[in-house]
């Protein structure tokens, strides 16, 4: 990893890690080792500015806050990435999602947490 920033558990014993000014990688974990499954840049052909917070929703989609581009993208297990938030963010650094369909974004630029449905 190059500058690991945020980590989140994912389904089936895997986990997701964002790298500063780089990529987001998905790993599988067992008791004895970790193995890189794929990176979001290579799997989806997506370019990040500065990926920060990551989380995984109830359907296994990965959500990523891009601090530099001021956006939040959703990466489904199958299909193309979807931009969930493209305006109104100054410096998104953290994301979390609820089982009720809410997206929480920590915006360090405005010192607040914004909630999206």
- Kindly report the backbone phi and psi dihedral angles of residue 84, in degrees, each rounded to the nearest multiple of 5, phi listed first: -90, -40
According to the model, what pLDDT value does residue 2 have? 87
Side-by-side strand order, sheet with 14-19: 4-9, 14-19, 24-29, 34-39
Beta bridge partners of 73: 64, 83
What topology does CATH give the domain 4-116? Neuraminidase (2.120.10)
Mean pLDDT of 45-67: 95
Mean pLDDT computed over 42-71: 96
- C-alpha–C-alpha distance, residues 66 and 62, integer Å: 13
Residue 112 confidence (pLDDT) above 90: yes
- Residue 44 confidence (pLDDT): 95
Render the burial of 87-108: b for 16+ CB within 10 Å, e for the rest.
Answer: eebebbbbbbbeeeeebebbbe
Q: What is the pTM of this model?
A: 0.93
> How confident is the model over 9-36, as pLDDT tens digits?
998 889 999 998 789 999 998 767 889 9
Q: Give the confidence band of 113 by pLDDT, cuts at 50, 70, 90.
A: very high
Tell me the chain's radius of gyration from C-alpha atoms. Answer: 13
Longest dimension (CA), the chain: 43
């Amino acid at each position: 990893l190059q500058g690991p920033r945020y980590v989140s558990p994912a389904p089936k014993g895997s986990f997701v890690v964002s790298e500063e000014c780089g990529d987001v990688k998905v790993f599988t974990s067992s008791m004895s080792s970790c193995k890189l499954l794929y990176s979001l840049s290579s799997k989806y052909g997506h370019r990040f500015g500065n990926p920060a917070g990551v989380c995984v929703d109830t359907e296994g989609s990965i959500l990523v806050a891009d601090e530099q581009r001021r956006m939040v993208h959703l990466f489904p297990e199958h299909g193309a990435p979807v931009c969930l938030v493209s305006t109104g963010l100054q410096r998104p650094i953290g994301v979390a999602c609820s089982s009720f369909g809410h997206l929480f974004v920590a915006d360090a630029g405005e010192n607040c947490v914004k909630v999206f449905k």
